[in-house]
Structure 1
Amino acid sequence: MSNTSLAIYPAWSDAIDPIEVAQSLADQFAGKPVHTVLFFCSAEYALAPLADALNRYLPAVQLIGCTTAGEINAQGYARGSVSAIGFDASYFTIAASLIEQLPEFGFTEAQRTLDELLARIHPGAVSGRSFAMTLLDGLSSQEERVLGALDAVLGSIPHFGGSAGDDIHLARTHVFINGQFHTQAAILIVFHTDLPFEVFTTHHMSPLGDKLVVTESDPTTRTIFELNAEPAAQAYAHAVGVAREQLDPTVFALHPLAVRTGDDYYVRSIQRVNADDSITFYCAVGNGMVLTTMAPQPILPDLERCFAAIEARIGKPLMTLGCDCFLRRTELEYRAQDAAASHFLRQHSVLGFNTYGEHYDGVHINQTFTGVMLGYPDDR
């Protein structure tokens, strides 16, 4: 993707010093009609100095972002870097709002937040020309509450997003708005554009036969203590055919569990196995839930089919803004397919980040690629 792309301007930096990062991004955006910059940064950066530097060198733009479990820039997959997207004021109106007090966030707060954003966007021309994106603290365990409330008020506005990561340290994840990084918070962003677009999600999983019933859990911490009345870690290890001591993020990526809703399966990815043989998840779990063992199919053919179908409807993509689960990247690296995946991402103008969970029309999901594909303007 070229830096002279119409309507959208990609930028990135893998400099270590925050000032060098901010200077580089400012240089790449110089002379371009950018009014909003969306960025995704490694959690390895010193975040307070990075915030100060971004505010100093990009003072005239709306800055929105989050920390990641890996970045996607114009070169493909990256780590230890900042990937940024500048949006052309001629083609986008973008408004964003910070959401705090996540445990108390409900319908009333969601409606007030959305109304304020729509008033700043273009209240008379929202239908069919707007989409919403959420960024959320990926360790807050509040995605279901926040996304459910927002889904109740978004109506016909399609929605996607991702949960912030911290390079798989599982310590603190952050979102950025109003000049600083925040924890235990979320951001709702509404985009209004005349460009063609389509919000989508896809995954590469197929169900196997084994069923595991949650017989003891703590839904507030997303922790399962027992599966089929056995210690959870032992039951899971037996079901997927590995020893208990072998359980690690690669095993979690290759042997996910999912809950069935209608004809669809929604992956409940494992965050960690604890010393007491309990398992903590990235998504909501609870007593009585039936989890199905899943088998990953090849990732790239699934992405190719998904992208081809959307491109047939909206044309060659100007950009796809993607939220790609970090466990998918773990799987690609395990199978030595990450270079091929980076090539695909470059060829299809994908920018974004690796997440601790994805958001799609009010649902919190795992091990998916979720995003929005934007087509070229008619007057290019």
Structure 2
Amino acid sequence: MLAGKQSWIFDSKPVITATGTVGGPFEANGAIPEAFDLLHDDLWIGEDSYEKAQTVLIEGAVTETLKKASLKKEDVNFMLAGDLVNQLTPSSFAGRTIGIPYLGMFGACSTSMEGLAIGAMIMEANGARHIISVASSHNTATEKQFRYPTEYGSQKPPTAQWTATAAGACLLEKTGTGPVVTKATIGRIVDMGLSDPYDMGGAMAPAAADTIAAHFRDTNSKPDDYDLIVSGDLGQIGLPICRDLLKQQGYDLDHSKFQDCGLMLYKEDQPVMAGASGPGCSAVVTYGHLLKKMQKGELKRLLVVATGALLSPLSYQQKESIPCIAHAVSIEANGGMS
């Protein structure tokens, strides 16, 4: 059901019945290694390119999800997948291997919640019985495309963020046991004219604030309706900016209420500059860490606001600013909001 201008309320409450999370060596040494079902000890993962290694991450996350659900890939109607590499090739090649009917998603680092929102809407419309949504990133594949190959050894400013080597997948079903997807707000493009590719958090913060405020307006909800609101990858720079922007609109979200996936994934002593980023970051933090807290009863209502910087190497070379977006999804313990 459409709520307000840009939000959906899912009366059918699609269920997240299983998840799968895969990471790399840096994530294994991070703050939440228990969030991963599978951790690889090198970035190559037995492949001859980082892009092929990213495909292995996606395949692993989907395989783990299906294994937990006791389903075969033939049982799944659609796979919604996205990443940061040109033309989504890691996701497409994983789709080739897995063989599930495939829809490519691109929202940069917002892809995890874009896929979950669209998957939930397909379920709401009785368009599927089983859907897998997966988002991924690979540190060195992303560095090579958007910045410099890691071997170049370029120095980054403290505003930069570390792209996670990770893939997170979830299975959506009409019925079952698990957290439910209750609402989603689709973001609009917000571009404040920032153009520094080494300050994604600052660029994305206005889009996150815009979507969060729209979610509250459209769904007639308020911050206290949620135990936790998490942004996807604003990091140390963007999170306080977003808090300030929301406060100007009358929403005062303190640290206990409003946190960031990009600040949860790694330890403080890891050299990640302003925090983590990448589509895989919010996917694994949500599916591997926060949903486990929900299963333990530590969280009942969660709003995940994944953020994306929609630039490309070409747009940067043309001296364009960075258009940004954020998509919000409300996830609740099975039974929904009372």
Fold match by TM threshold 0.5: no
Choose between structure 1 and 2: higher strand proportion. Answer: 1
Question: Which TM-score applies when normalising by structure 2?
Answer: 0.33
Report 1 or 2 for greater relative contact order, CA contacts < 8 Å, sequence distance ≥ 6.
2
User: Which structure: larger Rg?
Assistant: 1
Q: Taking structure 1 as the reference length, what is the TM-score of the superposition?
A: 0.30
Structure in which a larger fraction of residues adopt helix: 2
